[in-house]
Structure 1
Amino acid sequence: MPRAGGWTIYARRALGDQAGFAVGWIDWIGHCAGLAWVVVTIGAYTTALIPSIPLHGTGIALVVLLLFALIQLIGLEAGRLSQELLSLVKALAFLALISACLLLSPGHGPELAGAGGPSPPAGATALVVAAVFALQAVITTYDGWQSPIYFAEEFNEPAQDLPRSVIGGLLVVIALVLLVNLALLKVLPIAELAGSDLPLADAARTLFGPLSGRVILVLALISSLGLVNTSIMCAPRILFGLSRDGLFLGAFAQVRPSGTPVNALIATTLLTGLLVLFADFERLLGVAALLYVLLYLAGMVSMLVLRWKEPELPRPFKAPGGIWAAAIVALGSMAFLVAASLSDTTNSLLALALIALSLPLQWAQRRWGSAAPGQGA
């Protein structure tokens, strides 16, 4: 289904207009929360790297947000080139650090196996809470695997390019994450890793001395800038897709000649800026993880429904595992959401409040009309 809009395209086809709008809104809110989380992180990294900088972390976060919004405003080509450049620099920097850790560190040998001693027993509730907070970081690390679906309308051959982008991108990320962890285990004892906020910086400091900590902060900044660029490219296309399909206010279907959905970009920037001003890192991380997993659940349910409801739809790529893989992801998503709602109540309520913001906008859409015809973004 090569149309701009992301998850909402599948949900609407499988479950109807109301579900399509709800999923699209959740997707957009999730992108804004994740984007705010990343620019807040950039603010923290920048102040750590340059303590004398006149702006505080929040101010830096807002400046970065506006800068990348302006890049997107220029047009699709500017966004594409900036993403390719940032991705290349990030991959090369990570590979250089991994190589240094693996080749230059003498390693710890048997120390790894016994580091930290046996873990003390924990109750079921404590284990669930620990698992939820650990998974929040894991989910936000791997989220983005589905980003190509937001640009499916712009592929020359969607049936080939979409699975190649999703699967190829995910394999590259898995390889890099595993190599980074292998490199860290070669340099640092597990006990030290467990207590480290910036393990890559600690590993580099062990190998190269104090100056290398600053090098790792630069690497973290490069990595985070790529995330900002991706998120601010994807999020406006969600609102554009909703608006063009008559599910949201028609103003958000407007597209500049350069291909940018301008009003959707402005709305994305404004909401993200508000989240930066009024929420901290942990809050944004928790809310983003909840919304991401809710989208995974919606996506898998939509796929299962479409397999049953429209078996004749063209399916040029058969994913390994088929409906069983989708069912496993759906069940895992449900388990995480239940556990998170019980153990992380504050962030769960905040996520629900952000979702509820769609209600007055839906009312306005019904009152003042649907989307104007738009061009593909």
Structure 2
Amino acid sequence: MTPITAPSADGTNALSPAGQKRGLLRVLGVTFGLAVTIGNTIGAGILRAPGEIAAQLPSTGLYLAVWVAGGLYALLGAVTLAELGAMLPRSGGMYVFARHALGRYAGFLVGWNDWAATCGSAAAVAVVIGEYAGALLPALQGRAVPVAMGVTVAFAALQWRGVRMAGAAQTVTSAAKALVLLAIVGACFLLPATRPLAAAAPAAVPAGGALLVAVIVAMQSVIYTYDGWTGVIYFSGEVRDPGRDIPRAMIGGVLSITALYLLLNLAYLYVVPLRALAGEPLAAGAAARAVLGPGGDTAIRVVLIVALLSTVNALVLMAPRVLYAMSADGLVPGGASTVNEGGTPTGALVASTAVSLAFIATGTFSAIIAVLSFFFVANYVLAFASVFVLRRREPGMPRPYRAWRHPWTTGLAMLGSLAFLAGMAAGDPRTSLYALGLLAASYPAYRALTALIPGPDR
């Protein structure tokens, strides 16, 4: 039997004598790491975003180039953050890096934002499943909210049974997702088009400043679609061999996702002219209709539900790990670090599920995610900065994996993230101002909370 573990003072997992508080279990491997990376990253974005991007860049070369660029950005990030995941093998995501390298307040800011946004994302994806389930089954029409709640509770109950079962569910659902997406690729290339789509007159490719703006807007959609490649670092303390398996899962996951995205886009373009794809709200639906006729709509709804189930499971797995790590460090109440025999942080799971259900019930997840999405990439910036800080401050600390071509790769990843933030601020200044207001309010909230839950200062 795998021994029960508990967090030690340095944040690693140590054997727990009988009667002491249980900790997380090191039972996960590279297969789970690949599954959670794929499950957390690939969602509705790749089925929807191509239409938005084609509208911005009416050139096949430019259209494919931004997808390649997005994959390179994700790969640079994976190469960089894999060093931190292997060096600091604690579950909790980017909170762990910010807390260790930049101090308690930076960790608090990253952790609270990441936890709330992950709970909100789980709610949003579950609601989409409810909407598509209603379109498939008349009995479920108008019941998106209860269906979403049922899906969320079902995955939470599965996770309660233990990390092994939840990890197996992630592997199965992610494999199913990859297979149905590959089936779309195969159908587009192998089946004759039953409803060829006529293209409109070719649009002029923007030039000069207009082209730059179009590329920035398109890249924002692409990067959102690639977001999620950090999935495995939320489970670093549960991976059996983090020094080997975390880099393999992150880098292998990004390469697999990039290859699948390029295949899907080539498949879309094979059956749907670029100009017909432009502005299409569901690119995969247009492709399915082209090769399957009216039955394509039903097929793509099934694909969406299968694809999103693994995303919900990944998010329901990830959110409690952030809260667990913060609780272990004294930044939230200690009940969030309670772990059952199966290795599930049950206190954090209950809190995370309750917040997701509240988002679903009130319909506030869209507003929450819109504001907190600014911090998604800001978290990347702080994580990349942590690599520079720790290389300088702790050069002798064991690094089972070192970021390839650091500092160039790390610097490029950070510059890409900063450029993305600048584009967001210019394109949506209102949301950016809300995000800055939340940032300003976070420090007094941190001081008030930590006054009630004292912890060691850096």
Q: Could you say which residue in structure 2 is the equivalent of 1:75?
A: 162
SS of corresponding position for 2:407: helix
TM-score under structure 1 normalisation? 0.87
Rounded Cα–Cα distance in structure 2 between residues aligned with 1:5 and 1:281? 22
Which among 88, 101, 115 is matched to residue 28 of structure 1?
Answer: 115
Contact 1:40 1:58 in 2 (8 A): yes
SS of corresponding position for 2:398: coil
Structure 1, residues 182-219: CA drift from partner, whole Å, max 9, x if none? 00000001122112111112211111221122111111
Q: Could you say which residue in structure 2 is the equivalent of 1:94?
A: 181
Q: Could you say which residue in structure 1 is the equivalent of 2:137?
A: 50
Is 1:166 paired with 2:250? yes
Rounded Cα–Cα distance in structure 2 between residues aligned with 1:46 and 1:357? 38
Contact 1:5 1:237 in 2 (8 A): yes
Contact 2:188 2:267 in 1 (8 A): yes
Please tell me the root mean square deviation across aligned C-alpha atoms, in Å. 2.9
Is 1:301 paired with 2:385? yes
Which among 277, 284, 290 is matched to residue 374 of structure 2?
Answer: 290
Which among 228, 237, 246 is matched to residue 144 of structure 1?
Answer: 228
Rounded Cα–Cα distance in structure 2 between residues aligned with 1:262 and 1:57? 27
Q: Could you say which residue in structure 1 is the equivalent of 2:451?
A: 366
- The unaligned stretches of length 5 or more in structure 1 are 372-377
Which among 279, 301, 322 is matched to residue 195 of structure 1?
Answer: 279
Q: How does 1:168-317 map to 2 (within 5 A)?
A: 168-279=252-363, 283=367, 286-287=370-371, 289-317=373-401
Is 1:333 paired with 2:333? no
Is 1:116 paired with 2:237? no
Rounded Cα–Cα distance in structure 2 between residues aligned with 1:201 and 1:280? 28
SS of corresponding position for 2:204: coil
Rounded Cα–Cα distance in structure 2 between residues aligned with 1:288 and 1:137? 16
User: Per the alignment, do residues 136 and 284 of structure 1 end up closer, same or farther by CA in structure 2, a change over 3 Å counting?
Assistant: farther
Q: Could you say which residue in structure 1 is the equivalent of 2:97?
A: 10
Structure 1, residues 1-32: CA drift from partner, whole Å, max 9, x if none? 11111112211221112222222222212212
User: Per the alignment, do residues 138 and 354 of structure 1 end up closer, same or farther by CA in structure 2, a change over 3 Å counting?
Assistant: farther
Q: Could you say which residue in structure 1 is the equivalent of 2:172?
A: 85
Aligned AA (1:363): A
Question: What is the percentage of aligned positions where both structures have the same residue?
Answer: 39
User: Per the alignment, do residues 353 and 58 of structure 1 end up closer, same or farther by CA in structure 2, a change over 3 Å counting?
Assistant: farther
Contact 1:2 1:152 in 2 (8 A): yes
User: Per the alignment, do residues 49 and 135 of structure 1 end up closer, same or farther by CA in structure 2, a change over 3 Å counting?
Assistant: farther
Rounded Cα–Cα distance in structure 2 between residues aligned with 1:317 and 1:28? 27
Rounded Cα–Cα distance in structure 2 between residues aligned with 1:61 and 1:136? 28
- The unaligned stretches of length 5 or more in structure 2 are 1-87
SS of corresponding position for 1:259: coil
Deviation at 1:134, TM superposition (A): 4.1
Rounded Cα–Cα distance in structure 2 between residues aligned with 1:57 and 1:253? 32
User: Per the alignment, do residues 253 and 343 of structure 1 end up closer, same or farther by CA in structure 2, a change over 3 Å counting?
Assistant: same
TM-score under structure 2 normalisation? 0.73
